[in-house]
Amino acid sequence: MYNRASNSFAGLGGNISYAAIGNLVTSDAGDEVLASNSAGNLYLNNGGWTYTNGSVPVLPGLGLGHLDPGLPPNQDLAYVIGAGNIVYQSQTNWSAANGGSTAYVFLPRVPSAGSPILVTGNRGFGDILVADINNDGLEELVLRKAGGDTNALYVFKNGDPGFSLAAAPDPASNYAGGKPAISGSGAYNGVPFDQGSFPASRVTDGKFGDNSADSFWLGSDGQPNQYITIDLEAQVPIELIGLRNTHNAQYNDRGTKSFRIWASNQVDAGNQLVSPVLILDSQLQAFTGPAGDRRIPAQLFTSGNGLTPGAYRYIRFETHDDSAFGNGNVGLNEIYVSGVRNMALGEPIVKADVYGAGFDAERVTDGKVIDSFQDSYWLGPEGNANASFTLDLGVSRDIKSLAFRNTHNANFNDRGTRQFAVYGSNQIDGSSNLVNPQLVLQGALTTSRGTAGDPWVPVDVFNLQTGVNGGRYRYLRFDALNASFNNSNVGLGEIQVFEDLLPANVAAGKPVTASSWLNNDFRPENITDLRIDDFRNNAGDVWDNNRNGTFASYWLAPDGATDQWLQIDLGHLYRIDRIDLQNTHNGRYNDRATRDFRLEASEDGVNFWPVMTGTLADVRDPAGVGPTSPDIPLESFSAANGDFHRFAAQYLRFTAENFYGTGAGLNEIYAFSGVPEPGTIVLLGVGLAGLALAARRRWRVRRAGQE
């Protein structure tokens, strides 16, 4: 991309109107920046700015400058190629603006038809758009760095003295994460909303466990009509809101039932909304559990279940009528706000193989994220491991990420899809078959087991880095290739389609080596096989028929062995933002689990540096009841929560320093690349791609590592 050592536009003789990024000098392998100032002079940065005398012969086909003689002298046009090979046209209106601060807003991408212009050789990096993104009457310069270590948008505003390295908001982010509560009705024990032991700021702190010390807000005693106003600090597109209730830790006596959310782009002197718009009116589910409870699911609200999308800066969460426990005592653990839109939500299925009534394929786009019998998932016909369905997105979509929530058929735990393929097309025939289908993705889904209404079925995300073949398609066909369990019965809970690049697990299916293992049934590669929850293919613990000779889904170290390690080769250098770990208790034997651990990373597999150390929960079932009791949490550690610093590595090493019971072990490790903010972790879980992973929050961290 641009040269970080020479990234300022200062000294180029006036305001910068537009620029292009790409391998503009085709004789080298790097990217350059082309910029134009208010005098129409062109400059090229290939390690330093060079005046080009008004022409750049190495840029065939790039339109840049005062291209239309009918324009006034203070207006310029630029044509560039953007993401998805969409050509953009911009018109720059010059003014003598002085100073000013950089504005960050959602980027509206408006294609311009009829232009053949390309930026040659940009390899998917460095797209550019010039547009009036903050509605001030002037065009701003937006540079998009795709791939590499970020997918950030960089904004340069007319009049600014230099180039901003702060990223514009990513729609995959949690816009509410860390944002301030600016007004409210009050908090527990009659104190103001932002004071006391349970202040309103808790609902945006990114902490998920129901821990009374630091994770949730409680309203004033016995007052069911309470509110909190949050400043998102910019007008953002709201396509999804997630809410995680509280039960007041081990006391199980407080929480919200009925609520409303109002929105506005203005507040008065008292921080009350001006001309508020009601965007959501619904109810939250009541839960009970222990202190630090990680199992309270975040409930998702989109246009499919009551949310009215829009672009707003301020939101007010308002409780009313009564509390979750009927005593007037309300509260909330966390609120999440996202601009990511699931393009498949509510869209029709035009063709499907179906088991029978109650399991029709329309379930996969209904937005329901629990494994509820005859209500939330599709099942293929009995014994047909190659069942399929075809989804109509309504219009052609630029597909960058796909997410899937598998099923285990509620409490029956006997159906689901293991391996699958997705094909795309822009046309179907009279029988609703795809015309000239193109392979979009082939992969495997996480296999789990649970109860009826299970909210913890993990979501698997795939993006351009992890197998999605990007393209524009209207129709998608999901083909099951084989089943999760030891039969030929397939199904799916939900499919989600995004035009955004979402974080994905880059450890899935990657090769693993280890210092040792108990025997060949508990080999190291089990920790990246996407089979979780301590399943074994013996003693009634039915597993699938694709185990390649092993019958367990987890790794076990030899009895009594300490400092046993597992090493994953990710195949490429990735920026790692979050690590999820699932411990084991050795199925029905309940006799072992990892206790203290350390994580290390390396670029070459030889020289490792420390990432963090921590302690995993003792997940052995004290009652010895069975392989899925208790629910084994996926304990989540992230840079956003301060557990470690972001790092780039190809190799990850997990070391079990010691253990509970008779030895160490591990079920699964997930490594996520490209998670932009704390709330993204949760939002991707609750309905975008992996709430089940993030919701089963870590229990405790022993100490943070260093970069």
Instruction: Give the start-to-end residue ranges of the domains of the chain.
Output: 4-156, 181-338, 349-499, 512-704
Q: What is the identity of the amino acid at 384?
A: N
| Each residue's pLDDT tens digit, 16-25 | 444 554 445 5
| Each residue's pLDDT tens digit, 319-332 | 998 888 999 999 99
Report the pLDDT averaged over residues 492-512: 90
Q: Which CATH class is domain 181-338?
A: mainly beta
Distances (CA, A) of 395 to 269, 339, 381, 473, 578: 45, 20, 29, 8, 34
Instruction: Find, among 263, 261, 260, the residue nearest to 235 by Cα.
Output: 263
Report the pLDDT averaged over residues 400-414: 91
Tell me the pLDDT band of 294, cut-offs 50, 70 and 90. low
Bridge-partner residues for 337, per DSSP?
241
| Residue 656 pLDDT exceeds 80 | yes
| Each residue's pLDDT tens digit, 574-605 | 878 889 899 999 887 889 999 999 999 998 89
Return the number of other C-beta atoms located less than 10 Å from residue 107's C-beta: 17
| Each residue's pLDDT tens digit, 284-293 | 988 887 776 6
| Residue 407 pLDDT exceeds 90 | yes
Report the pLDDT averaged over residues 43-63: 44
| Residue 228 pLDDT exceeds 50 | yes
| Residue 432 pLDDT exceeds 90 | yes
Half-sphere exposure of 18 (CA within 13 A, CB side): 28
Return the number of other C-beta atoms located less than 10 Å from residue 45's C-beta: 22
| Residue 254 pLDDT exceeds 90 | yes
| Residue 568 pLDDT exceeds 70 | yes
* Cis geometry, peptide bond prior to residue 309 (ω within 30 degrees of 0): no
Instruction: Find, among 383, 363, 376, 374, the residue nearest to 478 by Cα.
Output: 363
How high is the pLDDT of residue 645? 81
How high is the pLDDT of residue 59? 33
Query: Is residue 409 within 8 Å of 485, Cβ to Cβ?
Result: no
| Residue 692 pLDDT exceeds 60 | no
Tell me the pLDDT band of 454, cut-offs 50, 70 and 90. confident
Tell me the pLDDT band of 32, cut-offs 50, 70 and 90. low
Tell me the pLDDT band of 277, cut-offs 50, 70 and 90. very high
CATH of domain 349-499: 2.60.120.260
| Each residue's pLDDT tens digit, 127-147 | 444 444 444 555 455 554 433
Query: Is residue 400 within 8 Å of 498, Cβ to Cβ?
Result: yes
How high is the pLDDT of residue 253? 93
154, two tokens = 């960089």
Distances (CA, A) of 475 to 262, 347, 348, 376, 434: 36, 11, 10, 22, 7
Per mean pLDDT, which range of 13-27, 206-220, 462-476, 559-573 is the poorest?
A: 13-27
Report the pLDDT averaged over residues 453-459: 74
Per mean pLDDT, which range of 352-361, 526-535, 616-625 is the poorest?
A: 616-625
Report the pLDDT averaged over residues 436-462: 86
Q: Put the strands of the sheet holding 181-184 in their side by side order.
A: 181-184, 227-238, 310-323, 256-264, 277-283
Report the pLDDT averaged over residues 366-390: 90
| Each residue's pLDDT tens digit, 146-175 | 333 333 444 444 444 333 333 334 445 688
Quote the pTM value.
Answer: 0.66
Per mean pLDDT, which range of 554-558, 566-570, 627-631 is the poorest?
A: 627-631
How high is the pLDDT of residue 665? 97
How high is the pLDDT of residue 456? 67
| Residue 655 pLDDT exceeds 60 | yes
Could you tell me what percent of the chain has a pLDDT over 90?
42
Report the pLDDT averaged over residues 195-223: 88
| Residue 230 pLDDT exceeds 90 | yes
Q: Which residue has the higher pLDDT, 39 or 373?
A: 373
Q: Which CATH class is domain 512-704?
A: mainly beta
Tell me the pLDDT band of 270, cut-offs 50, 70 and 90. very high
| Residue 673 pLDDT exceeds 70 | yes
How high is the pLDDT of residue 131? 47
Query: Is residue 508 within 8 Å of 535, Cβ to Cβ?
Result: no
Cα distance between residue 594 and residue 512, in whole Å: 18
Per mean pLDDT, which range of 72-86, 243-257, 511-525 is the poorest?
A: 72-86
How high is the pLDDT of residue 286? 86
Tell me the pLDDT band of 669, cut-offs 50, 70 and 90. very high
How high is the pLDDT of residue 173? 66
H or E element at residue 683: helix 678-683
| Residue 13 pLDDT exceeds 70 | no
CA dihedral (642, 644, 645, 650) positive or negative: negative
Cα distance between residue 139 and residue 133, in whole Å: 7
Whether 181-338 and 512-704 share one fold: the answer is yes
